[in-house]
Structure 1
Amino acid sequence: MYPYLDHDGPIAMAHRGGALHPDNVGYENSMHAFEQAVGLGYQYLETDLHATSDGVVVAFHDHRLDRVTDRTGVISQLPWSEVKKARINGHEPIPLLTDVLEHFPATRLNLDIKADNGVLPAAAVLRKAGAIDRVCVSSFSQARVKRIRAELGERLATGFGEQEIARIRFSPFRFDSPGACLQIPEYYGRLKVLTSGLLRRAHALGKQVHVWTVDDPATMHRLLDAGVDGLITDRTDLLRDILIERGQWP
């Protein structure tokens, strides 16, 4: 068992800090949102990673600054000296991964690497911070997942890459993966990704299944009843209330 997954009951994960909590709208992936989630009692935060042109790792979802900040431009093409001037919703600075690790030393982080140039800088930050045991690193890119595993070794918890998810979902043959967990949507477009068969196969392999992004109370109940190991949500308030109601809040 990875230390990251050592948790009593279903894992509740604050997606981008809980981007749709009423107090966080417009402040996704900001220290404001992360502090709100931790204040509610969340022990797991989900965030995304990009690296600037000079290799500084930031907690931010989009490739561009445009959608959620008062600046424009592609993060990987800008130095940190420019990116640090951007303000989320016109007010909050973009956090460094280093800052998030230091500010929440008892909190576990789920890190989604969004671009190839972020892999090595992120590995360097995690190694220097001694944070390998309290993070899980994932990516849509199988290549990025393989590379971060190679950089940080078997102690690191990682999500399944896209090829591994496809194999466990569609192949009738048993296979193993160094990944610690599947972090998947229930549906991807019209394709049903999460099935009872996938859940059984994952659990037979000793892998957890975390489902994103679940914001509807009825769906939260249904997935928890089905036996998923964690939910990743923008509505941190609703998931907390449901887990309290079920006697599963930590």
Structure 2
Amino acid sequence: MNVPAASSRPAPAYLADSLPARRGWPLGFAHRGADTGRENTLAAFRAAWEAGFTYLELDVRTTADGELVVFHDETLDRVSTAVGAFSALTWEELGAHTVGGEPLLRFADLLAALPEARFNVDLKDDAAARPLAALLTEHRAWDRVLVASFHDARRRAFRRALAEAGHADRAHGPRRVATSGGAAAIAALVLLGPLGLTGWLRRHALEVDCVQVPVRHGRVPVVTEAFVRRCHAADLPVHVWVVDDPAEMERLLDLGVDGIMTDRADVLAEVFTRRGIWPQH
């Protein structure tokens, strides 16, 4: 397994366990709770936790009245009993609907329901940054969350909102929350990394703590042995999404990736069990 180089900046607590130099094993992430019939519901996340997953991947969106809810799509039609734009309904109106027979879930309630879990939170709209920062400050949950988004601007907006919330909290002050890069950041690493610029990007441009990437983007391979090696040399853990095939999981682990996100909790648990790294809490 590749080992990241030592860094003058310690990893945030969320990621500390995933550094091979510290623990020697990659992380398993339950993607949306790893239950496609009940995705992003408390029932799915509870089941994943009970199966051995400490790290739970999820998405958040804001309702018409500003509540931060665990939900992926821009529209409600695909997975819920409601239809139309998610942002058009209030939290009270969403209370009449379900996903796979389960009620929709506020992020604040998830934080309270699974107090030892860690959450990989994908910001799905621009309005989510500020309430997420406020909730992390309110619940003192800075160490339990990694913030991600395909849009790097949302990640930067979250950082600004977190700084503002921290300065207003005189008892604790600003806190650091782990983040991963969006589409622009990943493109820079893939395109400029072979030119020897991964370390420079890590130190001066990206302001991220890890990279969370697909195996490939279209016809362009992303997770290669060279990519993983360059990221590790720059002290960037590599997490890969979404992988459900056991042979592909094994191949990626042999490359030295630091985490795998999956919709197949049973398959990943079996692969990790064979490697002696399961359960993870």
**Into which bin does the TM-score normalised by the smaller protein fall?**
over 0.9
What is aligned with 2:148?
138
What is aligned with 1:22?
none
Paired with 1:237 and 1:211, the residues of 2 have a C-alpha distance of: 17
Shift of 1:189: 1.9
Any residues of structure 2 matched to 1:185-204 within 5 Å, and which?
A: 185-204=214-233
Q: Deviations over 1:142-162 (max 9, x none)?
A: 100111122225611001122
What is aligned with 2:37?
26
Taking structure 2 as the reference length, the TM-score comes to 0.84
| Contact kept in structure 2, 1:2 and 1:155, CA below 8 Å | yes
Structure label with greater radius of gyration: 2
Shift of 1:229: 0.2
Paired with 2:106 and 2:30, the residues of 1 have a C-alpha distance of: 18
2:105 counterpart SS class: coil
1:175 counterpart SS class: helix
What is aligned with 2:33?
17
2:239 to 210, 226, 229: 210
Paired with 1:84 and 1:148, the residues of 2 have a C-alpha distance of: 27
Return structure 1 stretches of 4+ with deviation > 4 angstroms. none
What is aligned with 1:2?
12
Any residues of structure 2 matched to 1:66-215 within 5 Å, and which?
A: 66-89=77-100, 91-153=101-163, 155-171=176-192, 172=195, 173=197, 174-176=200-202, 177-215=206-244
Q: Deviations over 1:173-194 (max 9, x none)?
A: 2322321110000012222122
Shift of 1:65: 1.2
Partner amino acid for 1:157?
A
Shift of 1:72: 1.0
1:230 to 259, 276, 280: 259
Partner amino acid for 2:91?
W
Unpaired runs of at least 5, structure 1: 20-24
| Contact kept in structure 1, 2:27 and 2:260, CA below 8 Å | yes
2:201 counterpart SS class: coil
Q: Deviations over 1:25-81 (max 9, x none)?
A: 411111111111011011010000000011100011111111111111212121111
Paired with 1:198 and 1:146, the residues of 2 have a C-alpha distance of: 24
Percent identity among equivalent residues?
42
Taking structure 1 as the reference length, the TM-score comes to 0.94
Q: Deviations over 1:223-242 (max 9, x none)?
A: 00100000000001110111
Cα RMSD (Å): 1.2
Shift of 1:82: 1.0
| Contact kept in structure 1, 2:13 and 2:143, CA below 8 Å | yes
Shift of 1:95: 0.6
Paired with 1:127 and 1:201, the residues of 2 have a C-alpha distance of: 34
1:61 to 46, 56, 72: 72
Partner amino acid for 1:84?
G
Shift of 1:196: 2.1
Deviates more, 1:160-169 or 1:98-107: 160-169
| Contact kept in structure 1, 2:224 and 2:255, CA below 8 Å | no
Shift of 1:115: 0.9
| Contact kept in structure 2, 1:15 and 1:233, CA below 8 Å | yes
| Contact kept in structure 2, 1:168 and 1:201, CA below 8 Å | no
| Contact kept in structure 2, 1:14 and 1:45, CA below 8 Å | yes
